[in-house]
Amino acid sequence: MSVATRHPARFPVIGGWLGTLTSTDHKRMGLTLGVCSLFFFLLGGVFALLMRTQLAQSNMHFVSDNSYNELFTMHGSTMIYLFVTPMAIAMSLYLVPLQIGATRISAPRLCLAGMWTWICGGLVMQQGWFASGGAGRAGWSSYAPQSNGINTPGVGMDLWVIGVILAATGMLVMGGCVVATIARRRAPGMSLLRMPLYTWTALVSVLMVVGSFPMLVLVMVLLYIDRHGGRIFTGFEGSIDYQDLFWFFGHPVVYVMFFPYLGAAAEAIAVSAHKRWFGYLAFVASMMMFAALSMSVWSHHMYVTGGVTNQYFAFTSTLLLVPAGIEYFDMIGTLIGGAIVLRTSMLFGLTFFIQFLIGGLSGIFVASPVLDYHAYGTYIVVAHFHYTLFAGSIFGFFAGVYHWFPKVTGALLREGLGKLHLALMAVGTNLTFFPMFFLGNDGMPRRVSRYPTHPGWGTLNELETIGAGIIAIGVLVFLFNVWTSLRRRVPAGDDPWLGHTLEWATTSPPPPLNFEAPLPPIRSYAPLLDLREEELDRARERAEVTVGG
């Protein structure tokens, strides 16, 4: 066990706010990145509310067509590049070293440089709003030739491209640091198959980041050149190549936006069921398979182009249901036989699994080319990805927040407000996104600022707008919960939930070098639970001996 010693640096340590911003402590970096991501979540949410206001009734003119195109582009881009993905990385930066018993992440300075690159990316992307012609407005996937210099000219779109390049590079660098940390800094005794669930989900996620984000940087650089005179994405081949390259990144990223939150929900469920996660080996194997498969399904976004071999991608895409089904089996196996406490983190975790199921099943639906010929470009797809990403991942995110907030801050979040937050979000989410299946099935396309007066469309859209409002109130309740829990602190102690993994074996919040006392022995993926079970067994034996005489 390492002993921490402080030695005076050659030049004075930076304190204050600049110290926080230049800190190479993985916890500080994770928190900074997380807070910035949360800010972008709120910004992207405002964009969504504006969109939903425009769509509340048919043929409204709340925003102009051009503004709406900016809004849906920036909503998607902000949520994907500036919230869900970086938040997953932020959680991993904070939690992974703690969970593996390390004192720091690998290459902390490189990681900090990556974080600042990402921050610049977020700011540059949003600068587009101030440009004439407006911000990026060709969709978050910005297909060529729509996104080229002829069809979407202007500085705002250029800033969008640069913003994506910066954000992607930053996340790539940070992800690489997490891989290196898991590879190199596990505590003595923590073999790979004793790593906690969250760490495994973080590992496969950052492996996908390292494997696919370079493609995003490349395609955006090519798009930039294409926009400034280079004839890169021209003709049929060019259009198909753009989509092939973009979706080579674009599909893995949605799994990067899913696995860490799955890990968070799984940890919350296992701890609140007081039972170690069921089927660990199967889970690890299926995570690796899931992640690898995710890098070979990308052309299922291109079934209607006529430029890809639909059958191969239908094959790989449908296969995804196998590892997904294993996860659900494992979750149920964890719940059965447990001692379940229905605290907010558990409830969010359960809701994540149930709602994600809707997203996942609709995904199997659109994995079939013939069904996708109907669903592509419609609100069916919008419903599918919002169920997986919002009703799924974000609920997993909140499960993680309620689970780990006490560890990070030392204070407990209010349970009553937490359950209110969950209820509002669950109602709002389903009200907003479930009707979209029907709208899409009935023929409403996506990315339209106005829709004609079809029977039922106005009512469903209004319901969805109300649902969006309810989500917004839920988020406000959450923010209030955070604020009030920090103001009037209820101390959490080191281990309020009887956690299983190493982060609960240190103080809340952890000290700068993470562990001041020696680590407990690591014999499985739930070392603290092992200790507790041993304690229980010893107490029972003692009781029997006493009773038996």
Partner 1 sequence: MPIAIGVFVVILLVVLGAVLVYRRRPPERAARWHENDRVEGTYAVLLASTAAFLLYLTFTAEHRVDTLANRERPAVIIDVTGSKWEWTFTYPGYGFSVRSGTVGRQPLVVPAGEAVRFQVTSTDVIHSFWIPALRYKHDAIPGSVQITTLSFSRGVFAGQCAEFCGLRHSDMVFTARAVSPAAFAAWARGRGSGPTP
Partner 2 sequence: MRGGAIPILVWGTLLLVLALGNWVWDAKPVNGAAATAAVLIIYGFGVAVWLARREAIRRGPPAPRSEPETVPQSSLAAMLIGLSVGCALFGLVWTRFLLYFGIAMFVVGVGRMTIEVRAARATRRKVLGEGEQP
Q: Which does 214 bind (CB under 5 to 8 A by kind): partner 1, partner 2, none?
A: partner 2
CA distance 316 to 325: 15
Using CB under 8 A, which of the segments 108-116, 249-257, 348-356, 407-415 binds partner 1? 348-356
Q: List the x/- string, 124-153, binding to partner 2 by CB under 8 A.
A: x--x--------------------------
Using CB under 8 A, which of the segments 7-15, 94-102, 257-265, 359-367 binds partner 1? 359-367
Please report, as residue ranges, which positions from 229 to 258 form the binding site for partner 2 (by CB under 8 A): 241, 244-245, 248
Cβ at position 537, least distance to partner 2 in Å: 23
Please report, as residue ranges, which positions from 226 to 245 form the binding site for partner 1 (by CB under 8 A): 234-240
Question: Phi and psi (nearest 5°) for 491?
Answer: -60, 140
Using CB under 8 A, which of the segments 121-129, 210-218, 350-358, 393-401 binds partner 1? 350-358
CA distance 547 to 542: 9
Please report, as residue ranges, which positions from 509 to 548 form the binding site for partner 2 (by CB under 8 A): 512-513, 522
Count of chain residues binding partner 1 (CB under 8 A): 87
CA distance 316 to 312: 6
Q: Which does 166 bind (CB under 5 to 8 A by kind): partner 2, partner 1, none?
A: partner 2
Residue 324 interacts with partner 2 (CB under 8 A)? no
Residue 143 interacts with partner 1 (CB under 8 A)? yes
The dihedral formed by the CA atoms of 213, 398, 440 and 69, expressed in degrees to the nearest 10: -60
Query: Which of 184/447 has CB closer to partner 2?
Result: 184
Residue 60 interacts with partner 1 (CB under 8 A)? no
Indicate which single residue of 27, 186, 403, 414 sits in contact with partner 2 (rule: CB under 8 A): 186
Pair of tokens at residue 482: 């955070």
CA distance 466 to 529: 44
Pair of tokens at residue 56: 């509340």
Indicate which single residue of 114, 392, 410, 440 sits in contact with partner 2 (rule: CB under 8 A): 114
Q: Which does 67 bind (CB under 5 to 8 A by kind): partner 2, partner 1, none?
A: none
Question: DSSP letters of 476-518?
Answer: HHHHHHHHHHHHS--B--S-TT---SGGGGS-SSPPTTS-SSP
Residue 82 interacts with partner 2 (CB under 8 A)? no
CA distance 24 to 30: 10
- Amino acid symbol at 349: G
CA distance 516 to 505: 10
Cβ at position 118, least distance to partner 2 in Å: 8
Count of chain residues binding partner 2 (CB under 8 A): 87
Question: DSSP letters of 168-206?
Answer: HHHHHHHHHHHHHHHHH-PPTT--GGGS-HHHHHHHHHH
In sequence order, which residues have a C-beta less than 8 Å from that of residue 139 and are 6 or more positions away? 72, 73, 76, 146, 147, 447
Q: Which residue from 363, 365, 289 is spatially nearest to 326, judged by alpha carbons?
A: 289
Q: Which CA distances in Å does 475 have to 32, 124, 480?
A: 20, 26, 9
Using CB under 8 A, which of the segments 71-79, 84-92, 294-302, 358-366 binds partner 2? 294-302
Please report, as residue ranges, which positions from 498 to 537 form the binding site for partner 1 (by CB under 8 A): 498, 533, 536
